[in-house]
C-alpha cells in the first residue's frame, strides 16, 4: 500500500511529460495560424476582415485546383506612399454611339425637328426664290425638296415628316416649302394640329401674270394642251371664267385665305410680293427675316440682277465667283396672250384682289 501512494505523489514519467508539452505546443501553433489566416493576407488572398475580395494573386503550379475555384485578382494599385510605375496604355474603350452619328462614325450636329415655319404658297409666285434666298441665312435650315406632307402624304404621319427635315441646332429654324398647301382645304387644320405657333409665308403675285406663268410651265411639259384662252373661259364672249381650272383658281387669294384665318391670326402669316422680290430682293428678304425673328443677315450685298433671266441671283459677298441663279425652269419667256383676254381676267380678279388687300392690310397694286 505504501508503494502505490508514493508512486502517485512522485514526479510524472518523462515520456508522459513530453506528450503533454507537444500537445500544448501544437494547440498554441494552431491558434496562431488561425489568427494569422483571419487577420492577415496569406498566399491565397486577403482576409474578409480587411475588406478585400478573396482572390488568387500568383498561383503556383501546385495551386491549380485553387485557381479553378477562385477568380484572379485585379492588378494591385500603388499605395499612397509609393508612386505608381509607368505602365502600358490600356486599350481605349469604344465611344458610345450617338443618335446623330453617320455611318462613318463622325457625329452630326443638331436634331431633326418639325418645321417652325412653312412657305405655303403660292405656285409660280416666287416661292423657290424665297427658299433659296433664306437658306443663305446661318440661322435657317430648309428642306430643298417639296415634301407635300399636308396635302398628299399626311397619312404617313408626323414621324415620317420629321425624318425628312434637316438637322438643326437649338438656335436654328427648320423650314420647308410646298406651294400647294395654300389651296389645300385641309392644310390649315393639319398644320394647326402640328403646331398652332407655326409661322406661315405666302408669296403672292399678280394673279393674271401668275396664271400665264403656270400655263407656260405646263405647256413645256405637255405641248398638246389647249390654248390658254380655251382653258381660262367657259364662255369668253359672255366673260364666264372657268374657275375649275387650277391655274385660274389659285389666283383667287382672298377665297383661300379664309380657310387659313379660321386657324391662324394674320400676325402669323407673312405675305411676300412676288413683284417686289424681283425689284427689291433685299427689302423683301429683310421683312421675311424680321417676321422669322432672326437678324438681318441677307442684304443688298447678296444679290446681283441677271438681265437675261430678268430676276436677281445670289452671290457670296466675299467671293469672286459668279452669282448663283435659279435653274432653267425659272425665268421662262411667257406665252403671248391676247391683250383682251388679259383685260377680261383682270376684271375677273379685281373684286378678289380688293378683298385680299383689305384683309391683309397691304396694297399690291395689281390693277
Closest-CA residue to 337 (of 238, 246, 229):
229
Enter the C-alpha cell of residue 108. Answer: 452630326
Distance, in Å, from the CA atom of 311 to the CA atom of 326, rounded to the nearest integer, reads 9
Q: Is 230 flagged in the annotation as binding?
A: no
72 Cα distance to chain centroid? 48
Q: Is 333 labelled as part of a ligand binding site?
A: yes
Answer yes or no: is 124 a known binding residue: yes
Task: Judge whether 205 is annotated as a binding position.
Answer: yes
Is 65 marked as binding a ligand?
Answer: no
- The answer to whether 335 and 228 have CB atoms below 8 angstroms apart is yes
Q: Tell whether 315 is in a known binding site.
A: no
Q: Is 124 a catalytic residue?
A: yes
Note whether 234 and 240 are within 8 A (CB).
Answer: yes
Cα 5 off chain centre by: 110
Closest CA to 119 of 106, 131, 132: 131
Write out the H or E segment, with its range, that includes residue 133.
Answer: helix 127-134
Extract long-range pairs of 62-70: CB within 8 Å, 24+ residues apart: 70/44, 70/45
Q: Is 334 annotated as a binding residue?
A: yes
Helices and strands (H, E) in the chain, number of each type: 13, 11
The total of other beta-carbon atoms located within 10 Å of residue 38's CB is: 11
DSSP character at residue 110: S
183 DSSP assignment: G
* Catalytic residue selected from 123, 124, 199, 315: 124
State yes or no: 126 annotated in a binding site.
yes
- Residue 148 assigned as binding residue: no
For 199, other C-beta atoms within 10 Å of its C-beta total 20
Task: Note whether 313 and 323 are within 8 A (CB).
Answer: yes
Phi, psi of 256 (to 5 degrees): -70, -35
Residue 301 labelled as part of a binding site: no
DSSP bridge pairs for 142: 175
Cell of 195: 403646331
Q: Which residues are annotated as a binding site for 3'-phosphoadenylyl sulfate?
A: 124-128, 205, 213, 330-334
Which residues are known catalytic residues?
124
Q: Which residues are annotated as a binding site?
A: 124-128, 205, 213, 330-334
Amino acid at each position: 500500500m505504501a508503494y502505490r501512494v508514493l508512486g502517485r505523489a512522485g514526479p510524472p514519467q518523462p515520456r508522459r511529460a513530453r506528450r503533454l508539452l507537444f500537445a500544448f505546443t501544437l494547440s498554441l501553433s494552431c491558434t496562431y495560424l488561425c489568427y494569422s489566416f483571419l487577420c492577415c493576407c496569406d498566399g491565397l488572398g486577403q482576409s474578409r476582415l480587411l475588406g478585400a475580395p478573396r482572390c488568387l494573386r500568383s498561383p503556383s503550379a501546385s495551386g491549380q485546383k485553387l485557381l479553378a475555384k477562385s477568380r484572379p485578382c485585379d492588378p494591385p494599385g500603388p499605395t499612397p506612399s509609393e508612386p505608381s510605375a509607368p505602365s502600358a496604355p490600356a486599350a481605349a474603350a469604344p465611344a458610345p454611339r450617338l443618335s446623330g452619328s453617320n455611318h462613318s462614325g463622325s457625329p452630326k450636329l443638331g436634331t431633326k425637328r418639325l418645321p417652325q415655319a412653312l412657305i405655303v404658297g403660292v405656285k409660280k409666285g416666287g416661292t423657290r426664290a424665297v427658299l433659296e434666298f433664306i437658306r443663305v441665312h446661318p440661322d435657317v435650315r430648309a428642306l430643298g425638296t417639296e415634301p407635300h406632307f399636308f396635302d398628299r402624304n399626311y397619312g404617313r404621319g408626323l414621324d415620317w415628316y420629321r425624318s425628312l427635315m434637316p438637322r438643326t441646332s437649338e438656335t436654328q429654324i427648320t423650314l420647308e416649302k410646298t406651294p400647294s398647301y395654300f389651296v389645300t382645304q385641309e392644310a390649315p387644320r393639319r398644320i394647326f394640329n402640328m403646331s398652332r405657333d407655326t409661322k406661315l409665308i405666302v408669296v403672292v403675285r399678280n394673279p393674271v401674270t401668275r396664271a400665264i406663268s403656270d400655263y407656260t410651265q405646263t405647256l413645256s411639259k405637255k405641248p398638246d394642251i389647249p390654248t390658254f384662252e380655251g382653258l381660262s373661259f367657259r364662255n369668253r364672249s359672255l366673260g364666264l371664267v372657268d374657275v375649275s381650272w387650277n391655274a385660274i383658281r389659285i389666283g383667287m387669294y382672298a377665297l383661300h385665305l379664309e380657310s387659313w384665318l379660321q386657324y391662324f391670326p394674320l400676325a402669323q402669316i407673312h405675305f411676300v410680293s412676288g413683284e417686289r422680290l424681283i425689284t427689291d430682293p433685299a427689302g423683301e428678304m429683310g421683312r421675311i427675316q424680321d417676321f422669322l425673328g432672326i437678324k438681318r443677315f441677307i442684304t443688298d450685298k447678296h444679290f446681283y440682277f441677271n438681265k437675261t433671266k430678268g430676276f436677281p441671283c445670289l452671290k457670296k459677298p466675299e467671293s469672286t465667283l459668279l452669282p448663283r441663279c435659279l435653274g432653267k425652269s425659272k425665268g421662262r419667256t411667257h406665252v403671248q396672250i391676247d391683250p383682251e383676254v388679259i383685260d377680261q381676267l383682270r376684271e375677273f380678279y379685281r373684286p378678289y384682289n380688293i378683298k385680299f388687300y383689305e384683309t391683309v392690310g397691304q396694297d399690291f397694286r395689281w390693277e
